[in-house]
Amino acid sequence: MAAASACGGAGCGPHCSSSSGSAAGAEEDAPAERMARLSIATGAATTCGKCDGGAPTVAASGGAGMCRECFRAHLFGKFKLAVTSNAMVRPTDAVLLALSGGPASRVALQFIHAMQSKAIQSWETSNSQALPAFGVGVAFVDESVVLARPEHETQTATEDIKSIVSSLSPGDKQVHVAPLEDVFSSGSEDKVARLKEVVGMIDDETGRDDFIRCLRMLSLQKIALENGYTKIMLGTCASGIACHVLSATVKGQGYSLPADVQYVDTRWEVPVVLPLHDCLAQELSLLCELDSLKMQQLLDRPCRGINSLVASFVSRLREENPSREHTILRTAQKLKPFSFNKFSANGYHDFLPSRLRPKFQNVDTNESTFSEILCLICGSPFSESELQNLENTKHKAQKKIDLYTAHCCQSCHFQILPSATDTYGQFFSLLPKFWTEKVDTASASSLRDQIEDYLLEDDDEN
Protein backbone atom coordinates (compact mmCIF):
# COMPACT_ATOMS: atom_id res chain seq x y z
CA MET A 1 0.00 0.00 0.00
CA ALA A 2 2.91 2.29 0.69
CA ALA A 3 3.95 1.83 -2.88
CA ALA A 4 0.47 2.66 -4.05
CA SER A 5 0.39 5.90 -2.15
CA ALA A 6 3.82 6.94 -3.28
CA CYS A 7 2.81 6.20 -6.80
CA GLY A 8 -0.46 8.00 -6.52
CA GLY A 9 1.22 11.08 -5.31
CA ALA A 10 4.26 11.19 -7.42
CA GLY A 11 2.43 9.73 -10.37
CA CYS A 12 5.03 7.25 -11.45
CA GLY A 13 2.75 6.08 -14.19
CA PRO A 14 1.06 2.82 -14.90
CA HIS A 15 4.30 0.90 -14.84
CA CYS A 16 4.92 1.72 -11.25
CA SER A 17 1.72 0.47 -9.77
CA SER A 18 1.79 -2.71 -11.80
CA SER A 19 5.28 -3.44 -10.56
CA SER A 20 4.16 -2.96 -7.00
CA GLY A 21 1.87 -5.86 -7.46
CA SER A 22 -1.49 -4.18 -7.21
CA ALA A 23 -2.64 -5.58 -10.49
CA ALA A 24 -6.18 -6.19 -9.42
CA GLY A 25 -6.84 -2.51 -9.14
CA ALA A 26 -9.16 -3.18 -6.25
CA GLU A 27 -6.27 -2.98 -3.89
CA GLU A 28 -5.77 0.62 -4.70
CA ASP A 29 -8.37 1.76 -2.27
CA ALA A 30 -5.91 3.50 -0.04
CA PRO A 31 -7.47 4.74 3.15
CA ALA A 32 -8.17 8.41 3.15
CA GLU A 33 -5.47 9.30 5.59
CA ARG A 34 -2.83 7.78 3.39
CA MET A 35 -3.97 9.46 0.26
CA ALA A 36 -1.17 11.15 -1.40
CA ARG A 37 -1.84 14.52 -2.87
CA LEU A 38 0.40 16.60 -4.89
CA SER A 39 1.16 19.93 -3.45
CA ILE A 40 3.94 22.37 -3.11
CA ALA A 41 5.57 21.72 0.21
CA THR A 42 5.47 24.66 2.53
CA GLY A 43 7.08 23.58 5.74
CA ALA A 44 10.64 22.45 6.20
CA ALA A 45 10.46 18.92 4.97
CA THR A 46 13.03 16.22 4.56
CA THR A 47 15.25 15.79 1.57
CA CYS A 48 14.24 14.90 -1.94
CA GLY A 49 13.31 11.26 -2.21
CA LYS A 50 15.20 10.84 -5.45
CA CYS A 51 18.43 12.72 -5.32
CA ASP A 52 18.80 13.10 -1.55
CA GLY A 53 19.77 16.70 -1.97
CA GLY A 54 17.82 19.88 -1.60
CA ALA A 55 14.54 20.29 0.15
CA PRO A 56 11.61 18.73 -1.65
CA THR A 57 9.42 21.21 -3.37
CA VAL A 58 6.81 18.74 -4.42
CA ALA A 59 5.27 17.05 -1.46
CA ALA A 60 3.29 13.91 -1.74
CA SER A 61 1.86 13.34 1.69
CA GLY A 62 2.57 9.80 2.75
CA GLY A 63 5.27 9.37 0.14
CA ALA A 64 8.65 10.91 -0.32
CA GLY A 65 8.75 14.37 -1.76
CA MET A 66 10.72 15.40 -4.77
CA CYS A 67 12.77 18.44 -5.48
CA ARG A 68 11.82 20.58 -8.40
CA GLU A 69 14.53 19.29 -10.67
CA CYS A 70 13.67 15.67 -9.98
CA PHE A 71 9.98 16.34 -10.52
CA ARG A 72 10.64 18.00 -13.84
CA ALA A 73 13.01 15.23 -14.86
CA HIS A 74 10.41 12.68 -13.84
CA LEU A 75 7.75 14.20 -16.07
CA PHE A 76 10.16 14.84 -18.90
CA GLY A 77 11.24 11.23 -18.62
CA LYS A 78 7.69 10.07 -19.19
CA PHE A 79 7.30 12.40 -22.14
CA LYS A 80 10.53 11.29 -23.71
CA LEU A 81 9.81 7.64 -23.13
CA ALA A 82 6.46 8.01 -24.85
CA VAL A 83 8.09 9.79 -27.79
CA THR A 84 10.95 7.38 -28.26
CA SER A 85 9.26 4.10 -27.50
CA ASN A 86 6.49 4.83 -29.97
CA ALA A 87 8.75 6.36 -32.60
CA MET A 88 6.58 9.47 -32.52
CA VAL A 89 9.05 11.91 -33.97
CA ARG A 90 11.52 11.20 -36.72
CA PRO A 91 14.47 13.45 -37.48
CA THR A 92 12.86 14.49 -40.74
CA ASP A 93 9.52 15.34 -39.20
CA ALA A 94 7.95 18.70 -38.80
CA VAL A 95 5.81 18.58 -35.67
CA LEU A 96 2.80 20.79 -35.23
CA LEU A 97 2.02 21.24 -31.55
CA ALA A 98 -1.57 22.12 -30.77
CA LEU A 99 -1.38 24.74 -28.06
CA SER A 100 -4.50 25.64 -26.18
CA GLY A 101 -2.75 27.73 -23.61
CA GLY A 102 -3.58 25.34 -20.78
CA PRO A 103 -0.99 23.62 -18.58
CA ALA A 104 -0.83 20.35 -20.51
CA SER A 105 -0.08 21.77 -23.92
CA ARG A 106 2.18 24.36 -22.32
CA VAL A 107 4.30 21.61 -20.77
CA ALA A 108 4.26 19.72 -24.06
CA LEU A 109 5.64 22.81 -25.76
CA GLN A 110 8.37 23.10 -23.15
CA PHE A 111 9.32 19.45 -23.46
CA ILE A 112 9.28 19.22 -27.22
CA HIS A 113 11.37 22.36 -27.26
CA ALA A 114 13.85 20.69 -24.92
CA MET A 115 14.06 17.68 -27.21
CA GLN A 116 14.44 19.87 -30.25
CA SER A 117 17.22 21.93 -28.69
CA LYS A 118 19.03 18.73 -27.85
CA ALA A 119 18.64 17.50 -31.42
CA ILE A 120 19.88 20.79 -32.83
CA GLN A 121 22.82 20.73 -30.48
CA SER A 122 23.85 17.24 -31.43
CA TRP A 123 23.40 18.02 -35.09
CA GLU A 124 25.71 21.00 -34.77
CA THR A 125 28.35 19.08 -32.93
CA SER A 126 28.26 15.90 -34.94
CA ASN A 127 30.75 15.49 -37.74
CA SER A 128 28.57 13.74 -40.25
CA GLN A 129 25.45 15.77 -39.55
CA ALA A 130 23.47 12.77 -40.68
CA LEU A 131 20.37 13.15 -38.59
CA PRO A 132 18.75 16.54 -38.99
CA ALA A 133 16.79 18.06 -36.13
CA PHE A 134 13.05 17.89 -36.44
CA GLY A 135 11.04 21.05 -36.86
CA VAL A 136 8.41 22.36 -34.49
CA GLY A 137 5.48 24.64 -35.16
CA VAL A 138 2.67 25.74 -32.92
CA ALA A 139 -0.99 25.88 -33.84
CA PHE A 140 -3.69 27.69 -32.02
CA VAL A 141 -7.29 27.23 -33.03
CA ASP A 142 -9.33 30.29 -32.25
CA GLU A 143 -12.83 29.30 -31.24
CA SER A 144 -14.03 32.71 -30.20
CA VAL A 145 -16.93 32.55 -32.65
CA VAL A 146 -18.61 29.60 -31.00
CA LEU A 147 -17.64 30.62 -27.49
CA ALA A 148 -18.85 34.17 -28.01
CA ARG A 149 -15.73 35.61 -26.49
CA PRO A 150 -14.97 39.30 -26.92
CA GLU A 151 -12.47 39.91 -29.64
CA HIS A 152 -9.97 41.86 -27.59
CA GLU A 153 -9.55 38.93 -25.20
CA THR A 154 -8.68 36.65 -28.05
CA GLN A 155 -6.33 39.28 -29.34
CA THR A 156 -4.39 39.45 -26.09
CA ALA A 157 -4.40 35.69 -25.80
CA THR A 158 -2.90 35.15 -29.22
CA GLU A 159 -0.32 37.85 -28.53
CA ASP A 160 0.58 36.02 -25.34
CA ILE A 161 0.93 32.73 -27.15
CA LYS A 162 3.16 34.31 -29.75
CA SER A 163 5.37 35.78 -27.08
CA ILE A 164 5.56 32.46 -25.24
CA VAL A 165 6.65 30.65 -28.38
CA SER A 166 9.11 33.30 -29.50
CA SER A 167 10.86 33.13 -26.15
CA LEU A 168 11.90 29.57 -26.88
CA SER A 169 15.16 29.26 -28.71
CA PRO A 170 17.06 27.73 -30.41
CA GLY A 171 14.78 26.34 -33.06
CA ASP A 172 12.59 28.69 -34.97
CA LYS A 173 8.96 27.92 -34.25
CA GLN A 174 6.21 29.28 -36.40
CA VAL A 175 2.88 30.11 -34.81
CA HIS A 176 -0.27 29.41 -36.80
CA VAL A 177 -3.42 30.98 -35.51
CA ALA A 178 -6.49 29.76 -37.33
CA PRO A 179 -10.05 30.67 -36.57
CA LEU A 180 -12.27 27.62 -36.28
CA GLU A 181 -14.50 28.79 -39.11
CA ASP A 182 -11.57 28.38 -41.52
CA VAL A 183 -12.49 24.72 -41.83
CA PHE A 184 -15.04 25.92 -44.34
CA SER A 185 -12.47 26.97 -46.85
CA SER A 186 -14.07 26.78 -50.21
CA GLY A 187 -16.36 29.41 -51.58
CA SER A 188 -16.69 32.97 -50.59
CA GLU A 189 -19.74 32.61 -48.37
CA ASP A 190 -19.74 33.88 -44.84
CA LYS A 191 -17.82 31.26 -42.89
CA VAL A 192 -18.76 32.60 -39.50
CA ALA A 193 -22.46 32.45 -40.29
CA ARG A 194 -22.10 28.96 -41.67
CA LEU A 195 -20.31 27.75 -38.56
CA LYS A 196 -22.89 29.34 -36.33
CA GLU A 197 -25.74 27.87 -38.33
CA VAL A 198 -24.41 24.33 -38.34
CA VAL A 199 -23.62 24.42 -34.63
CA GLY A 200 -27.02 25.90 -33.97
CA MET A 201 -28.70 23.00 -35.69
CA ILE A 202 -27.34 20.55 -33.11
CA ASP A 203 -29.88 20.21 -30.34
CA ASP A 204 -27.88 18.19 -27.87
CA GLU A 205 -25.50 20.14 -25.67
CA THR A 206 -23.00 17.32 -25.47
CA GLY A 207 -23.29 16.82 -29.20
CA ARG A 208 -22.40 20.45 -29.81
CA ASP A 209 -19.38 20.12 -27.57
CA ASP A 210 -18.19 17.02 -29.38
CA PHE A 211 -18.89 18.50 -32.78
CA ILE A 212 -16.69 21.49 -32.02
CA ARG A 213 -14.00 19.09 -30.89
CA CYS A 214 -14.21 17.33 -34.26
CA LEU A 215 -13.99 20.65 -36.08
CA ARG A 216 -10.95 21.51 -34.00
CA MET A 217 -9.20 18.36 -35.15
CA LEU A 218 -10.13 19.12 -38.73
CA SER A 219 -8.75 22.59 -38.32
CA LEU A 220 -5.45 21.24 -36.98
CA GLN A 221 -5.27 18.81 -39.87
CA LYS A 222 -5.80 21.64 -42.27
CA ILE A 223 -3.07 23.78 -40.73
CA ALA A 224 -0.70 20.83 -40.81
CA LEU A 225 -1.45 19.93 -44.41
CA GLU A 226 -1.19 23.46 -45.66
CA ASN A 227 2.10 24.10 -43.91
CA GLY A 228 3.82 20.82 -44.55
CA TYR A 229 3.77 19.37 -41.06
CA THR A 230 4.06 15.62 -40.78
CA LYS A 231 2.87 15.09 -37.20
CA ILE A 232 0.35 16.72 -34.93
CA MET A 233 1.19 16.65 -31.25
CA LEU A 234 -1.58 17.06 -28.72
CA GLY A 235 -1.27 17.84 -25.04
CA THR A 236 -3.89 15.27 -24.10
CA CYS A 237 -2.84 13.91 -20.72
CA ALA A 238 -3.78 10.85 -18.68
CA SER A 239 -6.54 12.71 -16.88
CA GLY A 240 -8.06 13.85 -20.14
CA ILE A 241 -7.90 10.35 -21.55
CA ALA A 242 -9.50 8.93 -18.40
CA CYS A 243 -12.39 11.35 -18.85
CA HIS A 244 -12.65 10.37 -22.48
CA VAL A 245 -12.77 6.68 -21.58
CA LEU A 246 -15.78 7.26 -19.38
CA SER A 247 -17.56 9.68 -21.65
CA ALA A 248 -17.09 7.44 -24.67
CA THR A 249 -18.50 4.54 -22.69
CA VAL A 250 -21.45 6.62 -21.66
CA LYS A 251 -22.09 7.66 -25.25
CA GLY A 252 -22.11 4.06 -26.41
CA GLN A 253 -18.78 4.28 -28.22
CA GLY A 254 -17.26 1.28 -26.50
CA TYR A 255 -16.18 -0.24 -29.78
CA SER A 256 -14.23 2.72 -31.07
CA LEU A 257 -12.86 3.77 -27.69
CA PRO A 258 -9.45 2.06 -27.96
CA ALA A 259 -8.70 4.12 -31.08
CA ASP A 260 -8.60 7.30 -29.01
CA VAL A 261 -6.52 6.20 -26.04
CA GLN A 262 -3.29 5.13 -27.71
CA TYR A 263 -0.04 7.03 -28.12
CA VAL A 264 -0.31 7.14 -31.88
CA ASP A 265 -3.28 7.67 -34.14
CA THR A 266 -2.66 7.53 -37.87
CA ARG A 267 -6.23 7.45 -39.08
CA TRP A 268 -6.02 11.14 -39.94
CA GLU A 269 -4.13 12.40 -42.92
CA VAL A 270 -1.50 13.84 -40.64
CA PRO A 271 -0.85 11.36 -37.81
CA VAL A 272 -1.59 12.49 -34.27
CA VAL A 273 0.64 11.69 -31.31
CA LEU A 274 -0.03 12.01 -27.58
CA PRO A 275 3.27 12.17 -25.72
CA LEU A 276 1.73 13.28 -22.41
CA HIS A 277 -0.34 10.12 -22.36
CA ASP A 278 1.05 9.06 -18.96
CA CYS A 279 1.11 12.37 -17.11
CA LEU A 280 -1.70 13.53 -14.88
CA ALA A 281 -3.23 16.97 -15.30
CA GLN A 282 -2.42 17.70 -11.69
CA GLU A 283 1.27 17.01 -12.23
CA LEU A 284 1.36 19.15 -15.32
CA SER A 285 -0.25 22.16 -13.72
CA LEU A 286 2.04 21.76 -10.75
CA LEU A 287 5.04 21.84 -13.04
CA CYS A 288 3.73 24.98 -14.71
CA GLU A 289 3.40 26.54 -11.31
CA LEU A 290 6.87 25.47 -10.17
CA ASP A 291 8.62 26.54 -13.31
CA SER A 292 6.35 29.57 -13.62
CA LEU A 293 5.58 28.68 -17.19
CA LYS A 294 3.37 31.32 -18.64
CA MET A 295 -0.04 30.02 -19.56
CA GLN A 296 -3.01 31.51 -21.27
CA GLN A 297 -5.96 30.54 -19.15
CA LEU A 298 -8.22 33.06 -20.79
CA LEU A 299 -8.87 30.56 -23.48
CA ASP A 300 -10.13 27.88 -21.17
CA ARG A 301 -13.04 26.13 -22.76
CA PRO A 302 -15.31 24.60 -20.19
CA CYS A 303 -16.83 21.35 -21.37
CA ARG A 304 -20.56 20.93 -21.32
CA GLY A 305 -23.29 18.37 -20.91
CA ILE A 306 -22.18 14.81 -20.35
CA ASN A 307 -18.54 15.76 -20.81
CA SER A 308 -18.66 18.09 -17.85
CA LEU A 309 -20.59 15.58 -15.77
CA VAL A 310 -17.90 13.01 -16.46
CA ALA A 311 -15.18 15.51 -15.63
CA SER A 312 -16.68 16.23 -12.23
CA PHE A 313 -17.18 12.51 -11.61
CA VAL A 314 -13.53 11.84 -12.37
CA SER A 315 -12.40 14.62 -10.10
CA ARG A 316 -14.46 13.16 -7.29
CA LEU A 317 -12.88 9.79 -7.91
CA ARG A 318 -9.49 11.41 -7.85
CA GLU A 319 -10.17 12.89 -4.46
CA GLU A 320 -11.06 9.47 -3.19
CA ASN A 321 -8.04 7.80 -4.76
CA PRO A 322 -5.40 9.81 -6.60
CA SER A 323 -4.36 6.94 -8.83
CA ARG A 324 -7.85 6.24 -10.10
CA GLU A 325 -7.19 8.00 -13.40
CA HIS A 326 -4.27 5.71 -14.07
CA THR A 327 -6.45 2.71 -13.32
CA ILE A 328 -9.09 3.88 -15.79
CA LEU A 329 -6.41 4.43 -18.39
CA ARG A 330 -4.99 0.99 -17.76
CA THR A 331 -8.40 -0.59 -18.28
CA ALA A 332 -8.77 1.17 -21.60
CA GLN A 333 -5.31 0.12 -22.67
CA LYS A 334 -6.23 -3.50 -22.25
CA LEU A 335 -8.72 -3.05 -25.06
CA LYS A 336 -7.52 -3.99 -28.49
CA PRO A 337 -6.19 -1.02 -30.47
CA PHE A 338 -6.88 -0.59 -34.17
CA SER A 339 -4.44 -1.12 -36.98
CA PHE A 340 -4.07 2.62 -37.36
CA ASN A 341 -2.80 3.04 -33.82
CA LYS A 342 0.78 2.56 -34.88
CA PHE A 343 3.06 3.72 -37.62
CA SER A 344 3.15 1.05 -40.23
CA ALA A 345 4.32 2.81 -43.36
CA ASN A 346 7.13 1.06 -45.17
CA GLY A 347 10.50 2.15 -43.93
CA TYR A 348 9.00 4.33 -41.27
CA HIS A 349 11.19 2.87 -38.56
CA ASP A 350 14.44 3.01 -40.53
CA PHE A 351 15.80 5.92 -38.60
CA LEU A 352 15.56 4.08 -35.32
CA PRO A 353 18.61 2.60 -33.70
CA SER A 354 18.89 -1.02 -34.81
CA ARG A 355 18.41 -2.11 -31.23
CA LEU A 356 14.86 -0.71 -31.21
CA ARG A 357 13.82 -1.52 -34.74
CA PRO A 358 12.84 -5.17 -34.25
CA LYS A 359 10.27 -4.15 -31.69
CA PHE A 360 8.28 -2.35 -34.36
CA GLN A 361 9.02 -4.58 -37.28
CA ASN A 362 7.80 -7.70 -35.58
CA VAL A 363 4.42 -6.18 -35.18
CA ASP A 364 4.17 -5.30 -38.83
CA THR A 365 3.58 -8.82 -40.03
CA ASN A 366 1.08 -8.74 -42.82
CA GLU A 367 -1.70 -7.34 -40.74
CA SER A 368 -4.30 -5.87 -43.01
CA THR A 369 -3.65 -2.28 -43.80
CA PHE A 370 -6.01 0.43 -42.90
CA SER A 371 -9.44 -0.83 -43.79
CA GLU A 372 -11.76 0.45 -41.13
CA ILE A 373 -14.74 2.52 -42.11
CA LEU A 374 -14.73 5.72 -40.12
CA CYS A 375 -17.55 7.93 -39.00
CA LEU A 376 -17.97 10.89 -41.29
CA ILE A 377 -18.00 13.36 -38.41
CA CYS A 378 -16.01 12.04 -35.48
CA GLY A 379 -13.79 9.52 -37.22
CA SER A 380 -14.72 6.60 -34.96
CA PRO A 381 -14.25 3.23 -36.56
CA PHE A 382 -17.52 1.45 -37.27
CA SER A 383 -18.69 -1.43 -35.16
CA GLU A 384 -20.23 -4.48 -36.70
CA SER A 385 -23.81 -3.30 -36.36
CA GLU A 386 -22.93 0.07 -37.84
CA LEU A 387 -21.24 -1.64 -40.78
CA GLN A 388 -24.29 -3.80 -41.24
CA ASN A 389 -26.47 -0.73 -41.32
CA LEU A 390 -24.16 0.94 -43.82
CA GLU A 391 -24.23 -2.08 -46.11
CA ASN A 392 -28.00 -2.20 -46.02
CA THR A 393 -28.27 1.47 -46.81
CA LYS A 394 -25.81 1.21 -49.67
CA HIS A 395 -27.97 -1.36 -51.31
CA LYS A 396 -31.20 0.48 -51.18
CA ALA A 397 -30.25 4.11 -50.74
CA GLN A 398 -31.42 6.37 -53.49
CA LYS A 399 -30.54 9.68 -51.96
CA LYS A 400 -27.14 10.90 -51.01
CA ILE A 401 -28.48 12.06 -47.66
CA ASP A 402 -29.18 8.46 -46.69
CA LEU A 403 -25.62 7.56 -47.46
CA TYR A 404 -24.31 10.45 -45.45
CA THR A 405 -26.49 9.44 -42.54
CA ALA A 406 -25.33 5.86 -42.74
CA HIS A 407 -21.74 7.07 -42.65
CA CYS A 408 -22.29 8.61 -39.21
CA CYS A 409 -21.66 6.43 -36.18
CA GLN A 410 -24.62 5.72 -33.94
CA SER A 411 -23.38 8.11 -31.32
CA CYS A 412 -23.04 11.04 -33.74
CA HIS A 413 -26.36 10.04 -35.21
CA PHE A 414 -28.00 10.56 -31.88
CA GLN A 415 -26.19 13.54 -30.47
CA ILE A 416 -25.01 15.51 -33.48
CA LEU A 417 -27.49 15.03 -36.30
CA PRO A 418 -30.51 17.29 -35.88
CA SER A 419 -33.59 15.62 -34.46
CA ALA A 420 -35.81 16.44 -37.42
CA THR A 421 -34.88 14.14 -40.30
CA ASP A 422 -36.10 16.60 -42.91
CA THR A 423 -33.33 19.01 -41.95
CA TYR A 424 -30.60 16.46 -42.67
CA GLY A 425 -30.13 17.81 -46.18
CA GLN A 426 -29.50 21.28 -44.90
CA PHE A 427 -27.22 19.99 -42.14
CA PHE A 428 -25.00 17.91 -44.39
CA SER A 429 -24.75 20.71 -46.91
CA LEU A 430 -23.34 22.93 -44.18
CA LEU A 431 -20.69 20.45 -43.03
CA PRO A 432 -17.11 21.00 -44.12
CA LYS A 433 -16.58 19.64 -47.62
CA PHE A 434 -13.62 17.66 -46.38
CA TRP A 435 -15.99 15.32 -44.54
CA THR A 436 -18.72 14.90 -47.10
CA GLU A 437 -16.30 14.50 -49.99
CA LYS A 438 -15.03 11.25 -48.51
CA VAL A 439 -18.52 9.79 -48.73
CA ASP A 440 -18.97 11.19 -52.21
CA THR A 441 -15.94 9.34 -53.49
CA ALA A 442 -16.92 6.18 -51.64
CA SER A 443 -20.44 6.28 -53.02
CA ALA A 444 -19.18 6.98 -56.51
CA SER A 445 -17.27 3.73 -56.44
CA SER A 446 -20.28 1.89 -55.10
CA LEU A 447 -22.37 3.30 -57.95
CA ARG A 448 -19.88 1.87 -60.37
CA ASP A 449 -20.23 -1.42 -58.56
CA GLN A 450 -23.92 -1.36 -59.12
CA ILE A 451 -23.50 -0.64 -62.80
CA GLU A 452 -20.96 -3.39 -63.11
CA ASP A 453 -23.40 -5.84 -61.62
CA TYR A 454 -25.96 -4.77 -64.13
CA LEU A 455 -23.55 -5.09 -67.04
CA LEU A 456 -22.54 -8.56 -65.99
CA GLU A 457 -26.13 -9.67 -66.03
CA ASP A 458 -26.44 -8.32 -69.54
CA ASP A 459 -23.36 -10.27 -70.52
CA ASP A 460 -24.81 -13.41 -69.08
CA GLU A 461 -27.93 -13.06 -71.09
CA ASN A 462 -25.92 -12.61 -74.24
The residues of the shown chain that bind other proteins, judged by CB under 8 A, are 1, 24-29, 204, 206, 245-246, 248-255, 257-258, 305-306, 309, 313, 316-317, 320-321, 324, 327-328, 330-332, 334-336, 383, 411, 414
CB of 133 to other proteins, least distance (A): 37
- At 183 the three-state DSSP class reads helix
* Complex with other proteins: residue 28 or 278, whichever CB lies closer: 28
CB of 327 to other proteins, least distance (A): 5
CA–CA–CA angle 335, 243, 370 (5° rounding) = 40
* Complex with other proteins: residue 335 or 430, whichever CB lies closer: 335
Residue (of 442, 447, 396, 405) closest to 423 by Cα position: 405
* Complex with other proteins: residue 316 or 399, whichever CB lies closer: 316
* Complex with other proteins: residue 250 or 293, whichever CB lies closer: 250
CB of 115 to other proteins, least distance (A): 31
Is 160:175 a contact under the CB 8 Å cutoff?
Answer: no
Residue 426 CB neighbours (<10 A): 14
* Complex with other proteins: residue 15 or 316, whichever CB lies closer: 316
CB of 334 to other proteins, least distance (A): 4
CB of 317 to other proteins, least distance (A): 6
Do β-strands 94-98 and 58-60 pair in parallel, antiparallel, or remain unpaired?
A: unpaired
CB of 339 to other proteins, least distance (A): 12
Is 399:288 a contact under the CB 8 Å cutoff?
Answer: no
Q: Distance (Å, rounded) from C-alpha 76 to C-alpha 54?
A: 20
Is 62:73 a contact under the CB 8 Å cutoff?
Answer: no
CB of 18 to other proteins, least distance (A): 10
Burial letters for 32-48: b for 16+ Cβ neighbours within 10 Å, e otherwise?
Answer: eeebbebeebeeeeeeb
Q: Distance (Å, rounded) from C-alpha 181 to C-alpha 163?
A: 24
The letter for the amino acid at 39 is S
* Complex with other proteins: residue 77 or 418, whichever CB lies closer: 418
- At 231 the three-state DSSP class reads strand
* Complex with other proteins: residue 222 or 324, whichever CB lies closer: 324
